[in-house]
Amino acid sequence: MSSTFPPLRWDVFCRVIDNLGDVGVCWRLSRALAARGQQVRLWMDQTEALRWMAPGALEGHWPGITVLPWNDEGDGAPPYGQLPRSDVWIEAFGCEPPQPFIAQQRALWPADQAPVWINLEYLSAESYVERTHGLPSPLMNGAGRGWTRWFFYPGFTPCTGGLLREADLLQRLDGFDAQAWRQTAAPAAAAVTTGRWFSLFCYEPPGLPWLLEQLHSAPDAVLCVTPGRAQAAVAQWLGSRPWPSAWPVRPWVDQPRFDEMLWACDLNVVRGEDSLVRALWAGQAFVWHIYPQHDGAHHAKLDAFLDWLDAPPDLRAFHAFWNGSGGEPPPDLSAARLQDWAEVARAARRRLLAQTDLTTQLLAFVAEKR
């Protein structure tokens, strides 16, 4: 893909906390930068998820991207002392780069110059995002003392850093055959062509037992269960009962195939940040299991997102119920209700498509600060 921005060397740092979400965001960003002609070194302290999320990434088969092991002591491969200087540092979600790396890189910079150091922050629709996006944070200690780190906030409005979006996303979506995907995903299910399809990618939301109860006896429902915590939660709910044939367990898949599942389903249960954004691009009904925080701050974050989404009362109440913050489940999950919620998602998608994507904004931000 051609770009108006000069090729630079980027270091993207990912310290894994939730595994799938952290890796998902950092890999999407690395891919997007490489597609614009940038050279990316992706540093990770846990890389196993990339074996299925991005096959070949650990073996160096993705042009423009090199995956390297995070090592706080500086004795990883390659040694920090052999690294060429990079132009941009991205610390994802506030994970500061290793001090040995900072010291090694600082020795390569003239005294009056510095890399563009960016803290790629968490996604939120709260009002503080617009106020703090793009602000500087001078470093007062450590190997980076005297340099400046910049806050870059993803977001849902034009005054934020935007969302990750591939250039060919709508083209891929327009050419997708949902019925063909369903035939492959659950060929034995009676509701392959005419029923309601649900995808389940979650932690253990308080509302999950209600949903499973609704679907367990529904002859027209297919539930695509993702592996990991979602599958374990379903198994716990089933107990000694047999696994329903209309609840296929999906394999671990790469990011494009995860998108396809969201495109093919009528209601997507998503979690965290990365899959929320993908649900918005899918334009189907969804319910978001927001990452729970011990101080309850996630409830305000959820409310702010629902305000931006312009969620109708039944969808707002379902989100509250799903996340254990009050509210009630909807009277039903009929095809008509799911279609109404899908229209809400598509209206939000239209607003987002009118805004500049995160990668383009990030490249422009770096060009301004260099």
pLDDT tens by residue, 142-163: 999 999 999 999 999 999 999 9
Domains of the chain, CATH where assigned: 9-162+356-369 (3.40.50), 169-353 (3.40.50)
Of 270, 258, 278, the C-alpha closest to 319 is 270
Whole-angstrom distance, CA of residue 135 vs CA of residue 128: 12
Average pLDDT of the residues in 324-334: 92
Say how far residue 133 (Cα) sits from the centre of its chain.
19
Average pLDDT of the residues in 116-131: 97
pLDDT of res. 79: 62
Q: Are 32 and 198 in contact (CB under 8 A)?
A: no
Q: What's the pTM?
A: 0.94
The band of 1, judged by pLDDT with boundaries at 50, 70 and 90, is very low
User: If DSSP codes are grouped into helix, strand and coil, which group holds residue 41?
Assistant: strand
pLDDT of res. 16: 87
Beta-bridge mates of residue 65: 40
Q: Are 153 and 121 in contact (CB under 8 A)?
A: yes
Active-site residues, by number, are 22, 273
pLDDT of res. 333: 97
Torsion angles phi and psi, residue 256, rounded to 5: -60, -35
Strand order, beta sheet including 148-152 = 65-69, 39-44, 9-14, 88-92, 116-120, 148-152, 136-138
User: If DSSP codes are grouped into helix, strand and coil, which group holds residue 300?
Assistant: helix
The band of 2, judged by pLDDT with boundaries at 50, 70 and 90, is very low
Residue pLDDT, tens place only, 226-284: 999 999 999 999 999 999 999 999 999 999 999 999 999 999 999 989 999 999 999 99
The alpha helices in 36-188, defined as continuous H runs, are 50-53, 99-106, 128-132, 169-174, 178-185
Residue pLDDT, tens place only, 279-301: 999 999 999 998 777 777 788 99
Residue type, position 145, single letter: R
Whole-angstrom distance, CA of residue 21 vs CA of residue 51: 15
**145 exposure class (CB count in 10 Å sphere: 0-12, 13-18, 19+):** exposed
pLDDT of res. 266: 98
Whole-angstrom distance, CA of residue 92 vs CA of residue 29: 10
Q: Are 98 and 70 in contact (CB under 8 A)?
A: yes
Residue type, position 281, single letter: W
* Mean of the per-residue pLDDT values of the chain: 93
Residue pLDDT, tens place only, 20-65: 889 999 999 999 999 999 999 999 999 999 999 999 999 999 999 9
